[in-house]
Structure 1
Amino acid sequence: MSDPRYTPLRDRHESLGASFTDFGGWQMPVRYTSDLAEHHAVRQSAGIFDISHMAEFTVRGAQAADYLDHALAGRLSALAVGKAKYSLLLAESAGIIDDVIVYRLGDEDYLVISNAGNRDAVREALSARTDGFTVEVDDVSDDYALIAVQGPNAEAILADTEGVADVSIPWSEQRYYAWATATFGGQPLLLARTGYTGEDGFELLVPAALAGSLWDAVLAAGESHGLIPAGLAARDTLRLEAGMPLYGHELTLDTKPAQAGLGRVVVSAKESFVGKDAVDAASDARVLVGLAAEGKRAGRAGYAVVTEDGTPIGEVTSGALSPTLGHPIAMAYVDPSSAAEGSAVFLDVRGTRIPATVTALPFYRRTK
């Protein structure tokens, strides 16, 4: 077993009293004080997350756009410079190796951010697919730190952050799934208006050596805006409420995009891409749905979804008592015959059948 990895912000987390947990081989802060307090802060004001465990890859070269069209399920050649796009890295079987966000930094220059636990698999797949293309793929994960500031006050906090300078686009003009450049400590800073919480916010890519200084500066700016550090527990309930999939739960190598509700991400009209020939899921394949229940007992990952008489029809992939909505929610794969919105099903919660209703995703959507 390899030694656990820590981000450049380890000392900050320890000084704040964080509890740590293993996540993709990294020791990451799961909480600082209270899961609920951290969750509600992001919904009502703002939270700051260390997401430096994520993996970053640069894709550069004269055929970078064509290469990404081949390597990924989307049409990245159509992505404008300054914009970002969610996409999928598929196996030949059309199973999902990882879900990624791609940023177009220039005509021949892209950045791909993937999940921490899939870093090796993504690097291997991206490298293997370069044959025949004038392109270079580099794993630059260890060179950078990634900090997320999420919540309705995120823009105001970053606008007040001392040391952030030379912002290329005025804060109020920066759009969702787009990015701007800036500097911090005289070094390049990428400001991406993206996130994994269902709230407005930014993800900040900075050289690893400056991570601590940037974290401190953002926290200082956020004191008057209700900003608090938030850990993985809050991040998980936030993304669940927002209906965002988590690799290893909603997405796996055995999952095809259409099953996960991600058929829109796949551009089947492209002449070729890895996984194209197998992308269609079987008609009886289970599909991802949202489930809402009453009471306080939540279905957790691995719990069975059953009919009233106990016949298994699916399995929960993520579930929790929603801090925002106040009732249990879950995502689950169920048989197509039980997937229609409004369908009545049951969660087998440790031997007790809890009534649930198939509900449209996301469970929560911000209003502004």
Structure 2
Amino acid sequence: MTELLQVPLQEFHTTHGARFVPFGDWSMPVQYTSILEEHRAVREAAGLFDVSHMGEFQVDGPDAALFLDKLVVNHVCKLPDGKAVYSPMCASDGGVVDDLIIYRLSPESFLVCVNAGNAEKDFGWFLKQAGRWDLNVEIEDHSDQYALLALQGPKAAEILAAAGFPEGAALKRFCHETASFAGAKLRICRTGYTGEDGFEIYVPPAMAESLAKLLLETGSPMGLKLCGLGARDSLRLEAGLPLYGHELTDAITPLEASLGWTVKFDKEDFIGKNALAEQKEQGVPRKVIHFRLEGRRIAREGTPVVDRSGQNVGQVLSGTLSPMTEGPIGSALVDAHAEIDSLAVDLRGNHIPLIVAKPPLHR
């Protein structure tokens, strides 16, 4: 068995009572107290997550923007310095290779954040595509140069300012800038994955524990709690945000995932454009929906979705109990022609009516 990778804050998490689980190739904290308590802290005050397992690529050169514009479905060339953009990255058939956040550092320099489980695959994809095009671009994997902390919740900006980063706290949504901390360079970004206001902070691994302690000491009186992957997943599902491998896969296109707003058909070209244009013209055959259920039974991933006649028309992609509504919620991929108002989940022969809802599912 391959030994699991450890984040730079492993000892910090252990000291604070974290329970660890394998997540891909990593040993990650899933919770400290309870998922319910941590989830509610983010909705009502703030939570601090360690997401240092994420991958980071540096893309530089005169053609860096053009390269990324051809690689992903959203606009990159139009992105100003100091801004970030979310985008799926597709294969030629329109299936999603991964979904990314791209930060423009300067006219010829970008930082790209990729999902941890896809980092090795993505880096190979970047290099493969760079080899296809005659572009002046350099790509380097800088994942080991960063630890990544996510400060999320309605009090996140207040906590960040009180910790000595008022400029970072004043950033607008999907903007980023550098800051200094104990002689080290940080990058503060106002992005998030919880449905709440929040910040991602890229920090050198050697300084991660000092920064985590500072934020925790500053924020605890305001209700800040350490949070693990358990709360991160329930928060993102309540907010209707996709998780790669669930609402996005190499067999689910951005159009099917209700991410059509990210696909910029006005661009001259990008990988997957022809397939996505054809799917848009013909109409998507399937679509991702979100739902609530009455009662307490959770429809887990893979649970069949059936129509009024009992015919299988899809399956659940993600399912959990919403800590805010105390009821089951989830997402499902269903046939586009299915009658939305008559769907049910098949829980061991029991057909539980599915209440289609528009995220956020807790409001």
- Does 1:250 find its partner at 2:247? yes
Shift of 1:249: 0.7
Shift of 1:92: 1.7
Equivalence for 1:135: 137
Asked if the contact 1:29/1:231 (under 8 Å) is kept, the reply is yes
Asked if the contact 2:168/2:189 (under 8 Å) is kept, the reply is no
Equivalence for 2:112: 112
The correspondence of residues 1-368 of structure 1 with structure 2, limited to 5 A, is: 1-130=1-130, 131-161=133-163, 164=164, 169=167, 171=169, 173-279=170-276, 280-281=278-279, 283=283, 285-338=285-338, 340=340, 343-364=341-362
Shift of 1:331: 0.5
Change beyond 3 A, Cα 1:310–1:59: same
Deviations 1:313-355 (A, max 9, x none): 1100011121112322110001112265xx1311112332111
Shift of 1:133: 0.9
Q: What SS is found at the alignment partner of 2:249?
A: coil
Shift of 1:205: 0.2
Shift of 1:361: 2.9
Asked if the contact 1:286/1:336 (under 8 Å) is kept, the reply is yes
Is there any run of 5+ residues in structure 2 with no aligned partner, and where? none
Identical-pair percentage: 44
Shift of 1:85: 0.6
Change beyond 3 A, Cα 1:349–1:157: same
Asked if the contact 1:150/1:195 (under 8 Å) is kept, the reply is yes
Is there any run of 5+ residues in structure 1 with no aligned partner, and where? none
Asked if the contact 1:293/1:357 (under 8 Å) is kept, the reply is yes
Greater displacement, 346-355 / 53-62: 346-355
Count of residue pairs the alignment pairs up = 358
Letter in 2 for 1:273: F
Q: What SS is found at the alignment partner of 2:219?
A: helix
Shift of 1:360: 1.9
Asked if the contact 2:307/2:339 (under 8 Å) is kept, the reply is no
Shift of 1:364: 4.0
Letter in 2 for 1:226: G
Asked if the contact 1:344/1:358 (under 8 Å) is kept, the reply is no
Q: Return the alpha-carbon distance in structure 1 between the equivalents of residues 173 and 24 of structure 2.
A: 27
Q: What SS is found at the alignment partner of 1:271?
A: coil
Q: Return the alpha-carbon distance in structure 2 between the equivalents of residues 219 and 327 of structure 1.
A: 30
Q: What SS is found at the alignment partner of 2:77?
A: helix
Shift of 1:88: 1.3
Q: Return the alpha-carbon distance in structure 1 between the equivalents of residues 310 and 67 of structure 2.
A: 49
Give the RMSD, CA atoms, in angstroms. 1.5
Q: Return the alpha-carbon distance in structure 2 between the equivalents of residues 98 and 180 of structure 1.
A: 25
Change beyond 3 A, Cα 1:339–1:13: farther
Asked if the contact 1:41/1:227 (under 8 Å) is kept, the reply is yes
Deviations 1:54-75 (A, max 9, x none): 0001111111111111111111
Q: Return the alpha-carbon distance in structure 1 between the equivalents of residues 168 and 357 of structure 2.
A: 38
Shift of 1:308: 3.3
Q: Return the alpha-carbon distance in structure 2 between the equivalents of residues 210 and 339 of structure 1.
A: 53
Shift of 1:189: 0.6
Q: What SS is found at the alignment partner of 1:258?
A: coil
Asked if the contact 2:20/2:30 (under 8 Å) is kept, the reply is yes
Greater displacement, 44-53 / 66-75: 66-75
Change beyond 3 A, Cα 1:20–1:339: farther
Change beyond 3 A, Cα 1:15–1:350: farther
Q: Return the alpha-carbon distance in structure 1 between the equivalents of residues 309 and 268 of structure 2.
A: 47
Per the normalisation by structure 1, the TM-score is 0.94
